[in-house]
Structure 1
Amino acid sequence: MVTTEPGFFLMGNKYNYPLNSANDLGMSSKYGLITKREDYTISFLFYYINKCSNNYRISCPILFTSYRAITLSKLIELHRAVMIQISPEHALYIGIELMKAELSLIIDHDYIQN
């Protein structure tokens, strides 16, 4: 299960910090994680990874939470630090995933980010 709670999980592997080995997994240095939370909200955790010597560190994690995908997308749009990091193609992908997460809340199904 993917979660944004302390002790982050990704693809069944547990990390002490969110994706502290992301580049070792072949992931890009920018990453967004969309989750459906137990309080019936959708969250979008965005962060980018900066390399410091031989270690990777998380720089500026930003968490957005809302009950609706449209509100969440508007919050993301207003955050300049996030918008300069996201390409138009990635913004479309995020929008699709936010709508899938909201739909999973409405019909009470599990949500898995694609």
Structure 2
Amino acid sequence: MDNSYCLIRVSINQKIVLYYFDNNQKVKNINYPICFTSYSANLIYRLLSIHNCFQLCSISHILYMSQELYKAELCLIFNQNYIQD
């Protein structure tokens, strides 16, 4: 099981924001996220592939994040609210 999790949001200014929390990196019980922001899911995919923390994620976790990023981009295109599963 992964010791990390992601929150995906669509910001007010029409951007996809992915917050990555790594539970292995706690400093004095404070867990700060790494934030990835872009206008499209494809650019987020590129950012994630460059960052080394996602190379340790399980395949199922990566597939889930891909699905959620795609949904977030569709919500931007169709001007709908995004709710992460």
What is the TM-score of this pair, normalised by structure 2? 0.85
**Where does structure 1 lack aligned partners over 5 or more consecutive residues?**
1-27
Query: Who wins on radius of gyration, i.e. which is larger?
Result: 1
Residue aligning to 1:49? 23
Preserved CA contact (<8 Å) 1:46 1:82: no
Aligned amino acid, residue 70 of structure 2: M
Q: Classify the secondary structure of the residue corresponding to 1:102.
A: helix
**Secondary structure at 2:76's aligned position in 1?**
helix
Higher helix fraction (1 or 2):
2
Deviation at 1:83, TM superposition (A): 2.5
Alignment length, in residue pairs?
83
Structure that is richer in strand per residue? 1
Which 5+ residue runs of structure 2 have no aligned equivalent?
Answer: none
**Larger RCO (CA within 8 A; separation ≥ 6):** 2
Provide runs of 4+ in structure 1 moved above 4 Å.
Answer: none
